[in-house]
Amino acid sequence: MNRHLPWVSVVVCVLTLGCLATTQGQVTLVVTDGNITCIKAELSASFLITYDTANRTTSVRVPLPQTATVGGNSSCGGASAPQQLVAEFGVGHSIDLTFSSSKGQYRVDDIKLHYNLSDSSVFPGANRTGVVTVETNSTDIVAQVNTTYRCFSVSFVSVGGVNVTFSDVKMEAYMAGDDLSPKETVCKADQSTTTAPPPTTTTAPAPTPPGIPALGDYFVNSSNGTKCLLARMALQLNISHVSSLNQTIQEVVNLQPNQTTSSGSCDPNNAVLVISQGGATNLSFFFTLNSTSNRYHLNGLSLVATLPDMAAPFSASNMSLNYLSSSKGQSFMCSSEQTLTVNQNFSLNTFQLQIQPFGVTAGTFGQAVECRLDQENMLIPIVVGAALAGLVLIVLVAYLIGRKRSHAGYQTI
């Protein structure tokens, strides 16, 4: 039965050279059988899992961590057995992709997710324990044999009620070589990204910083039509990429609010804001609410961008972030410039930011809680003012003392 199992070696990310090249937030998984590599995947993924506590139903977004390892049930298949990639993480959690190949194509036939409700660090207050398995046989991941399946865009797959988010994906099964094929099968979502005309920015992309970006208003509607996420912010992308001349170029690009559209979704504990610019740039924000503490934070950022001088679209994702934290019903505010680092190739600069992903009432921002940078910036004028006042006081006192002395001296004469 499992005759391939003994030869399937577990490849831990840290031990493979390829891992050094991968970016933060992304997981690299390699399935080998003896000296043959049959599946390689570089991807970011997260799982939006709904579960019950004693009082209510809640949901949690669980990222596929970089510590995920290739499980022993992975397989390079055989005459009748399919190829299989099992990524294990945490205590008893795993995602399992089953591939098949026919007519010059390979595809993901089946996705299984196992999650362990006994893990109270991930599922606090769950009203039951044990491993839950969900599965789908409906995926649209398909590619030509001897090409790499590439899907940088964010895509969602419903796996038995769990909403699985993939982004920044490069993956190949039924491999002929040891590494991903240079030829790619590009998913539909990325095709619309690349075939869209480049953004109609009037200025050619200059190496000089483009100045402060313009302020934009963005929002997400909930299913009943009320605004559930509000954002006002000026955004700047700081991207480091390899040009068509094979040079590493760092570019700073402003988003043009008048060329963007926003969309997304809200559920009680998770909210997504997607900002699209001219079909060539998609920036997604993932927020999560901890319903115990009633605090939210930005836990994921994902970017797909095609700039005019790019050889290939640029992508970056990180689903384990912790930025823009505040309480439900309040908005997070940061007038100062702040840098949200996603990985070594991408960071997002924000200016004049105010955002509220949860507890929006009547379409307006709740009480604003200022970021530390703003508080420090407010402190500087106060400190300078106090110092100046102190100085004036000292000069005044010195003058008065001096006057009194000379007066006294005059009197003694």
Ligand X SMILES: *[C@@H]1O[C@H](CO)[C@@H](O)[C@H](O)[C@H]1NC(C)=O
Cα dihedral 314, 319, 324, 328 sign:
positive
Contact call for residue 158 and ligand X (CB under 6 A): yes
* Distance (Å, whole) CA 161 – CA 51: 10
Asked if 162 and 135 count as a contact pair (C-beta separation under 8 A), the reply is no
Contact call for residue 146 and ligand X (CB under 6 A): yes
Beta bridge partners, 266, equal 271
Dihedral angle, C-alpha 150, 155, 158, 161, nearest 10 °: 130
Contact call for residue 203 and ligand X (CB under 6 A): no
- Tell me how far, at minimum, the Cβ of 25 lies from ligand X, in Å: 18
One-character DSSP codes across 172-219: ESS-SSSS--SSEEEPHHHHHHHHSPPP--SS---SS---SPPPEEEE
Of 65, 82, 124, 329, which one interacts with ligand X (CB under 6 A)?
A: 124
Residue 42, both tokens: 């570089």
Contact call for residue 127 and ligand X (CB under 6 A): yes
Contact call for residue 119 and ligand X (CB under 6 A): yes
* Distance (Å, whole) CA 108 – CA 99: 4
Nearer to ligand X, 65 or 124 (CB): 124
Among the listed ranges 187-195, 264-272, 315-323, 398-406, the one in contact with ligand X (CB under 6 A) is: 264-272
Contact call for residue 338 and ligand X (CB under 6 A): no
Helix H or strand E encompassing 410: helix 372-412
Asked if 313 and 321 count as a contact pair (C-beta separation under 8 A), the reply is no
Nearer to ligand X, 176 or 395 (CB): 176
Of 6, 78, 128, 393, which one interacts with ligand X (CB under 6 A)?
A: 128
* Distance (Å, whole) CA 86 – CA 98: 9
Contact call for residue 272 and ligand X (CB under 6 A): yes
Burial annotation 253-283 (CB, 10 A radius, 16+ → b, else e): bbbbbeebebebbbbebbbbbbbbbbbbbbb
Asked if 30 and 9 count as a contact pair (C-beta separation under 8 A), the reply is no
- Nearby residues of 325 by Cβ (< 8 Å), 6 or more positions away: 295, 296, 297, 298, 332
According to CB under 6 A, which residues from 50 to 69 bind ligand X? 52, 54-55
Nearer to ligand X, 308 or 390 (CB): 308
Of 16, 194, 221, 222, which one interacts with ligand X (CB under 6 A)?
A: 222
Contact call for residue 249 and ligand X (CB under 6 A): no
Of 10, 19, 81, 131, which one interacts with ligand X (CB under 6 A)?
A: 131
Nearer to ligand X, 78 or 402 (CB): 78
Helix H or strand E encompassing 280: none
Contact call for residue 228 and ligand X (CB under 6 A): yes
Contact call for residue 181 and ligand X (CB under 6 A): no
- Tell me how far, at minimum, the Cβ of 265 lies from ligand X, in Å: 4
Contact call for residue 256 and ligand X (CB under 6 A): yes
Contact call for residue 101 and ligand X (CB under 6 A): no
- Tell me how far, at minimum, the Cβ of 262 lies from ligand X, in Å: 13
* Distance (Å, whole) CA 151 – CA 76: 23
Among the listed ranges 123-131, 204-212, 349-357, 379-387, the one in contact with ligand X (CB under 6 A) is: 123-131
Among the listed ranges 39-47, 114-122, 298-306, 391-399, the one in contact with ligand X (CB under 6 A) is: 114-122
Q: Chain centroid to CA 170: how far? A: 17
Interface ranges with ligand X (CB under 6 A): 34-35, 52, 54-55, 71-73, 91-92, 104, 116, 118-119, 124, 127-128, 131, 137, 145-146, 156, 158, 163, 176, 214, 222, 224, 226, 228, 246, 256, 258, 265-266, 272, 290, 292-293
